[in-house]
Chains A and B, each alone.
Chain A
Amino acid sequence: MNPPTLAAVELRCPDLERSRAFFVDVLGLLESDTADGEVSLRCVGESAHTSVVLRASDTPGLAAVVLHDRDGAENWPAATSDGHQLRVVGERQQAEPYQGERVILNQPTPLRGVGIEPRRLAHVGLTATDPAAAAAWWQEQLGYALRESVADDEGELLSTLSTTPASCEVMLVRSANDNGGGLHHVAFTVDQRDRIADAALLFAELAVPVEVGLGQHGVGQLSYIYFFEPSGNRLALIHSPLWWDAGAPPVRWPPESWRRALWLWGAPPPSSFLEVHT
């Protein structure tokens, strides 16, 4: 059994048009499809048709996490232990082939030079009442590998898991006021840390609400900027050089080092970081 990998994140968007414009014009994602209150997007480095879906809704938040099982999509749970809707697909639709001349033949779509243009969907951050229990569920039910876990004085704070050598496909974040199924953030990966500094400048000019960043987590050795898209969902641009060799054991950050797990330098994340989700 191969674990189903992260394929797409479907978001609920009260302001669908402004969210679409932000994703396409500021973040620089590509619009794959638009129909009936639903916008399908992908990043420039992705060959699949869709890695983000924006769906018109009264409230922001997570509609579903889409996973890809290349052996077919049978007998997978329809929701996580914390109530996030899961949809496992056996086949991923590929993007329409690019019609112009491709200079770099292995790049599905040329860079447009618009916005930040992250290469790929990196991970989804989900809320959990108990991140350790949730991580156990992802390991047992879906076959994910636990990469890192963090505890503070109040208990389990955060876990990261993946099915690939990349350090994080799913991040589980403790939420004090969670009714289940909450979205903490969706993260996209950029080429290098420097690109996050580009984003900080662009966001300042456009008055994009930045929550924290540029900064660096100990977890994932992950450089970040966290911000909110127009519908209120938290997003992140990240760069993580950490790669997990096969069989590498998980890393535990005990309470005395949880601050370093969350930030190595710079201003600490504000309290909203662990309190606000959609």
Chain B
Amino acid sequence: MTDIAPAIELKGISKAFGPVQANKDISIRVMPGTIHGIIGENGAGKSTLMSILYGFYKADKGEVFISGRKTEIPDSQAAIAAGIGMVFQHFKLVENFTVLENVVLGAEDGWSLGPSLRKARKELINLADEYGLNVDPDALIEEIGVGMQQRVEILKALYRQADILILDEPTGVLTPAEADQLFRILQRLKAEGKTIILITHKLREIMDVTDTVSVMRRGEMTATVKTSETSPQQLAELMVGRKVLLRVDKTPAKPREAVLEVKGLNVTDDKGVHRLKGIDLTVRAGEVLGIAGVAGNGQSELLEVLGGIQFGEGSVKLNGAEIDLTGRHSDGQSRRARGIAHVPEDRQREGLIMNFAAWENTGFGYHHDDRYNRSRLMMDNAALRQDTEEKMDRFDVRPPNPKLAAKSFSGGNQQKIVLAREIERNPDLLLIGQPTRGVDIGAIEFIHQQIVALRDQGKAILLVSVELEEILALSDRIAVMFDGQIMGERLPDETDEKELGLMMAGMTREAAAAQPQNAAQEG
């Protein structure tokens, strides 16, 4: 092994943004023809490291060796020239161009497009044969699915003769089946001698596909180990720096009367697209109903219409009393007054005002409440600050400074601020979307405990998450959404990720149950 030069070797990479040390003296060696995982919490410095490798940032210190040669990467052009291809978490594709045009874009051979396109078409067919990356070259990007779009990103990199492929959180937008497909493509790329770096925060993916794995914490590389010689538990500990509970500790639910009853709920958005198509569901006191589904299948709209942000049609009853979905009063204020709390999916766009101080955010949405107001006109800022201090203490928000702007807190602490605000209202129904998106493992544990504790107090909880593991861990019942409809309901002990994955891809519960065991593998 020693005589083969590593495909990538980083030596002593450091990078600071102002006072924040994003990368501290990082060194790794990635051998050619392997899949190397980089795992770490949000803000651990994974993306910064890869951005340095791809020429977006310049390292303050350190050296990069590609195939044994010291290489300067001042910009992404140089990275491509060095054989590095990057697949970003958010795709960089032109929506109204075809697959072929996107592949050629930026790699045209001359002033005339024709020859480049012809060459690219031939090349695409070759690549498809070689790696099983079948895509219709003439399809428009906006008309193909997310999984296909990701393939186009990979094809783009391969078309530019990339030998080293970096994938940043590639499965965030995929169904489990699509993710499995992606991993098979990666295995094949590896077999053909490509080197792959997989950045993720999902332990399962690391265990499934990588050969070696590096763990990052707070800008430092804490360990690099062979995947076969480690365990998820050990990796989690390395990521967080202490022992963590990966499973949620909870007793069986003791559901009582129905709190939320939804019948025939329809939502049509501003553009006239039918987002929810006749949703029926019930959430009872003392249980968590989990909604599984790939992002964009109506879960957001469901939360929004229940939370009073969107208008809808149909019947929604809270504690037996009908809620007005179309009238003037169907807004967040009246929902809160009736005992619906809402932790929105996107805390940075909806749940918080990033430029507001923490104490202003604590009253946000409840600013009509008597205890936050001195008179009909004036707010009681002192009471708000006091209240925030108490909430920060109870929810262990760090730093516990109510005057700090929301944007200055980490993702997990931002989420704790939102949770503290909504849970402490003692609501009958909690709507909660993506409770742990962008939240570090340590905080995930805490947030999950809070949700279970609220359930045990006899509250009804409607949970929406794209993380299947989270749905399985927290829910007492699971409903799967696809294309604005509920495909069926399952109990967490009776189902697994495979079956839920099939339902998330549009199969009904019965069809999914009838699938032979290996069906998921063929997608």
Q: Are A and B bound to each other?
A: no
